[in-house]
Amino acid sequence: MDDLHDDIAQLETRIEELRATRERCRKISLVGRIALYISGLWLILTLTSLLPFSPTPFFAALAAVLGGFVLLGSNKTTWEQTEEELRKAEAMRDQFIGSITMKVVGDERPTLH
């Protein structure tokens, strides 16, 4: 019985780690989108001559667009793998909890109030 409780405790720890990883993925995804949108807007404004052309900011924006795509792509894979592991860990935890036989604790006589 203690082994089952230990297994459940280990799964709970793993689930918390996976949730933290998922939260990091969410933040990385947000940073990637922001980089992509802002730098993409900068490039569009520069190409339409609404902003003066300057090589350094132009190429920095171009690099940020590429970096945003890379962040979103690699982060998507990590997010999907984390979600899959999280679903499996939660299902296993639920299975372990469901296999525990519950017993009534307390007085078997009805209590009169």
Between 97 and 1, the more confident residue is 97
* Region of residue 10 (phi > 0: left; psi between -120 and 50: alpha; otherwise: beta): alpha
In the chain, the percentage of residues whose pLDDT exceeds 70 is 92
The reply to whether 106 falls in a domain is: no
Tell me the average pLDDT across 59-73: 90
When divided into structural domains, the chain yields a total of 1
The reply to whether 11 falls in a domain is: yes
Which residues span the domain enclosing 76? 2-99
The reply to whether 104 falls in a domain is: no
* Residue that has been written with the tokens 């940073």 in this structure: 31
**Tokens found for residue 103:** 């017993």
The reply to whether 111 falls in a domain is: no
pLDDT tens string 29-38: 999 999 999 9
Phi, psi (degrees; rounded to nearest 5) at 48? -90, 10
Query: Which of 37, 33, 44, 34 lies closest to 73 in space, CA to CA?
Result: 33
The reply to whether 107 falls in a domain is: no
What is the rounded CA–CA span in Å between residue 68 and residue 32? 4
The per-residue pLDDT for 33 is 92
What is the rounded CA–CA span in Å between residue 97 and residue 94? 5
**Tokens found for residue 61:** 């924006």
Tell me the average pLDDT across 14-26: 94
The reply to whether 14 falls in a domain is: yes
The per-residue pLDDT for 4 is 82
pLDDT tens string 70-100: 888 888 989 999 999 999 999 999 998 888 7
pTM above 0.75, yes or no: no
The reply to whether 19 falls in a domain is: yes
